[in-house]
Amino acid sequence: MDIKKKINNLVEKLKKWEYEYYALESPTVSDSEYDLSLKELVELEEKNPEFRNIDSPTLRVGGFISEKFEKVKHKIPMLSLSNAFSKEDIIKFDNDIRKELSENISFSYSLEPKIDGLSISLIYEDGFLKKALTRGDGIEGEDVTENVKTIKYIPLSIPFKDEIEIRGEIFFDKKSMEKVNSISEKKFVNARNAAAGTIRNLDSSIVAKRNLNAIMYNIPESIENNLFKQSDVLKWLKHNFFNVSKYNKVCENVDQLINEIKWFQENRETIPFDIDGIVIKINEISLYDDIGYTSKFPKWATAYKFPPKIVSSKLIDIKTSVGRTGRINYIAQIEKVKIDGVAIQNATLHNFEYIQEKDIRINDYVELYRAGEVIPKIIGPIISRRTNECKKFICPKTCPSCNSILEKIENEVDLYCNNKKCERKIIESISHFVSRNAMDVDGLSIKIIEKLYDKNIISSFIDLYKLENKKEEIISSNLLIKEKSFNNLISQINKSKGNSLERLIFGLGIKHVGEVASKAIAKKYLSLTNLKNITIESLLEISDLGDKMANAIFNYFNDCDNDELINSLINMKIANEYFSKWSSSQISNENEIYRNKKMVITGSFSTSRNEIKPLLEEMYGAKISSKVGPSVDFLLIGNNPTTKKIEEAKKYNIKIIDKEFWK
């Protein structure tokens, strides 16, 4: 047998054994036989590298060293899910869906365990795994392809030759988690952190040794691949050698759904991997567009979260800190306790009135719980365990950072530091400005911000855009930044200049103003320049804004100290426009024909679909569908559009819009 044929035979044999062992949990050969065959393949490939297959199982060994992980935009955003916490929430979810559908339309539910891991997107081309992306912020993820190739539960090639995206979860099962913590110097506190930390390791050989698991459950463009039910998607995945959870269920009605959730809740400890709830989806994918989406979540799915575990611990002390708006925060320091495998030493106490109302005292034993990734919350004291050592917490009178006298605003429960020169407020405001959901400057940690501030290199977020001129000073000042890191940081800062206006408004850290309000403000005013001339009356025309928020925004843009910052941002042309590349001038009378119409998009564009879709939805009120049908009004085509969609558009006499419209 020639060498090339021998290598190919070994590859096919090892791939078959991997699938039997990892996906089917039904191995047909011993571990030693597999190891010997893999060793033989490694030796043959080393001597004959020209015959190495791009889907060779030897890639599972790892050895690729990355300097960093590049960010890549998702073709289709990876949306998060709304949460349900009770039987009543599930019934409401069912009722809300029925309101969106005609009475004669029947549907079922697909149930899948909500795995405590890391979401992943796999892109296959010509049958081979080409790219693997983390969820990131849902719009943009990190390219972790080389690390994902080491995971034996993920096929390196599949018997499907068209381009396709597969989504799922990477995680540690309970046995692997125990093994990793038994041999690793760094002890992981829970499976999610362990999976996230491992997949982002720069050395793929370390990833390979940790034996990560992976379960796939989603094909974003399922309709385009003639998969009209979630149960069909799961069957397709299994048929194409992906690992699929054996705990998936289909329920015909809400009563059956509630019973199955109860079963999972009672039996979660018997499942070999950690789950923190159940993902519920409408099984009929063809109904998704009719049911619709909110700005953040699909309406056709939700995540039922198991009730949080309540534990008790001793409250050692209560510390205060000041945030970017000057609000005083109260943190309880407690004796270390574990919740769901996570070691907890701090918990939130909301505000002083909460501490008073609950009569929480230092040295009390308290009950607390942790929901999701947020800091744990204290429910209240265990009065039966109170002793004479327990003492009341005295309300703070001065800022823990600058010692300024704290002020209480009428009709608000919180205390505030109103000193504009408070160092901690400034540092926290800069940290917020560069955070992921604001200007997203990767690599600028709060520790580096503190050092830059202490060295008088920056005194506000506007100084970040002047750092390029202070390279030598920064690198020579022992600020945790080396030359390569500095260059990467400057690249990220310059990239942030092109962000859209809503990100900038959120990044300004205006009191009471979150992401939703920032987007609404950006949509109305379209540029930072226009915001300099706002009035209370015009702000109150925005439905998402109330009196308190409108006053906070008006006061911010009419503050003399902020005026210089705003002018600097405008002069530097930093994130000055809504949707950055789009402006109201693009909406001509001619284009009004697209208003409130149902549209399908196919092909690629010079501008990301992530910008085209919100423009259509928000500026035209369009409804975006993934499926061409008789109810669709327009098909928007870009480069390399799907032939099938064009043929269907012609079949239903749907008008086709050329990409020239979007230039």
Domains with residue ranges and CATH for the chain: 3-61 (1.10.287.610), 83-305 (3.30.470.30), 310-392 (2.40.50.140), 423-496 (1.10.150.20), 501-571 (1.10.150.20), 591-662 (3.40.50.10190)
pLDDT 10s digits, 14-63:
888 887 776 676 778 777 788 788 888 888 888 888 888 877 878 777 66
Q: What is the 3-state secondary structure (H, E, C) of 199-212?
A: HCCCEHHHHHHCCC
Q: What is the pLDDT of residue 103?
A: 80
Which H or E run contains 181?
helix 174-183
**Residue 240 to residues 129, 234, 377, 431, Cα–Cα distance (Å):** 13, 10, 44, 45
Half-sphere exposure of 114 (CA within 13 A, CB side): 20
Which H or E run contains 73?
strand 71-73
Is the pLDDT higher at 279 or at 638?
279
Q: Return the residue matching tokens 């960093």.
A: 68
SS3 623: strand
Q: Are strands 655-657 and 634-637 parallel, antiparallel or unpaired?
A: parallel
| E strand map for 374-529 | 377-381, 391-392, 407-408, 415-416
Is the pLDDT higher at 328 or at 410?
328
Q: How far is CA 591 from the centre of its chain?
A: 34
Half-sphere exposure of 297 (CA within 13 A, CB side): 12
State the Cα–Cα distance between residues 50 and 46, nearest whole angstrom. 9
pLDDT 10s digits, 92-134:
999 999 988 888 889 999 999 999 899 999 999 999 999 999 9
Catalytic choice (6, 13, 87, 114): 114
Is the pLDDT higher at 323 or at 589?
323
Does the pLDDT of residue 613 top 80, yes or no?
Answer: no
State the Cα–Cα distance between residues 447 and 426, nearest whole angstrom. 13
Q: What is the pLDDT of residue 196?
A: 87
- Among 165, 130, 274, smallest CA distance to 213 is for 274
Q: What is the pLDDT of residue 431?
A: 95
Q: Return the residue matching tokens 């859209």.
A: 500
Interior CA angle at 612 toward 607 and 616, to 5°? Answer: 160
State the Cα–Cα distance between residues 418 and 408, nearest whole angstrom. 10
Task: Report which DSSP code applies to 98.
Answer: H
Q: Report whether 453 contacts 531 (CB < 8 A).
A: no
Q: How far is CA 176 from the centre of its chain?
A: 25
Q: What is the pLDDT of residue 77?
A: 85
- Report the pLDDT averaged over residues 391-395: 95
- Among 314, 391, 324, 394, smallest CA distance to 352 is for 394
**Whole-prediction pTM:** 0.61
- Among 532, 520, 534, smallest CA distance to 571 is for 532
Q: Report whether 513 contacts 552 (CB < 8 A).
A: yes
Q: What is the pLDDT of residue 662?
A: 52
Mean pLDDT of the chain: 86
Q: What is the pLDDT of residue 618?
A: 63
Residue type, 493: I
Residue type, 293: Y
Give me the percent of the chain exceeding a pLDDT of 90. 44
**Residue 382 to residues 108, 297, 339, 540, Cα–Cα distance (Å):** 45, 38, 18, 46
Give me the percent of the chain exceeding a pLDDT of 70. 90
Is the pLDDT higher at 395 or at 292?
395
Q: At residue 602, what are phi and psi to the nearest 5 degrees? A: -140, 150
SS3 590: helix
Helices (H), 224-376: 230-239, 254-267, 288-291, 352-358
- Specify whether 114 is catalytic: yes
Q: How far is CA 358 from the centre of its chain?
A: 34
Q: Return the residue matching tokens 């940690």.
A: 445
**Number of neighbouring beta carbons within 10 Å of residue 90:** 20
- Among 598, 639, 643, smallest CA distance to 617 is for 598
